[in-house]
Amino acid sequence: MVEGDCDVLVHVVAPPQVKPVHELSHAEWRVALDAGLDQRFHLARDFAAGRRAAGRGGAVIFVGAPEQALGSDQAAAAGALVNLTKTLGVEWARDGIRVNAVLSFEQGETLGNLVVYLASDYAAYVTGAITGVGLDDG
């Protein structure tokens, strides 16, 4: 949970192991959705509540793998995350809280630099944006 004062929430979920859908148990499905979607929402909600209480804006950046080429559990989580990002970006816009997502298979410098940009005031007009880095579908 989010404690103390912070201006930026970066939430990273590393690309998981891909498992064929017919081998996926409900328990495994739940674990993936919990990490890829539920926990992200709860953390972002707590973060936003803290920012509102402080009367200050902030930035949320979700980082994870894109829905393509993943297992069905992660694909569902990533697809939901994309639309959650767009929704929260607008819902919290007037709290000065921006919400963006970066979808990537890599962990290179471009990913880091892009996240730093999105966290900064330079991205003050960027919210609800989904950007891919190092994807194979360019």
Partner 1 sequence: MPVPDHHIIATPPPFEVPPYPADVFAGQTVLVSGGGTGMGLAMALAFAQGGAQVAVMGRSLEKALEGAAKIAALGVKVHAMSCDVRLPEQVAAAFDEAERVLGPITLLANNAGANFPVLAEDISVNAWNAVTRIAIDGTFLCSTEFARRLIARGQGGAIVNNSAQYIWTGFPGDAHSAAAKTAQATMTKKMAREWAPYGIRVNAIAAGFFPHETSTAGRREGGTEVLQNMIPAGRTGSIHEFGWLSAMTCTSFLAGLTGQVILQDGGESLRRSLMMPDYVPPRERVDGPWGWK
- Binding of partner 1 at residue 130 (CB under 8 A)? yes
Q: Which is nearer to partner 1, 36 or 57 (CB)?
A: 57
Among 37, 48, 115, 133, binds partner 1 (CB under 8 A): 133
Residues making up the chain, counted from first to last: 138
Among 15, 16, 57, 71, binds partner 1 (CB under 8 A): 57
- Binding of partner 1 at residue 135 (CB under 8 A)? yes
User: Token pair of 132, please?
Assistant: 């891919």
Which residue carries 């930026």 as its tokens?
Answer: 8
Nearest to 105 by CA among 87, 78, 123, 80: 78
Q: Pick the piece of the chain touching partner 1 (CB under 8 A) from 12-20, 42-50, 68-76, 95-103.
A: 95-103
Q: Is 25 helix (H, G, I), strand (E, B) or coil?
A: coil
- Binding of partner 1 at residue 50 (CB under 8 A)? no
Element (H, E) at 108: none
Contact 37, 84 (CB under 8 A): yes
Give the interface with partner 1 as residue ranges (CB under 8 A): 55-57, 86-87, 89-90, 93-98, 106, 108-111, 113-114, 117, 120-135, 137-138
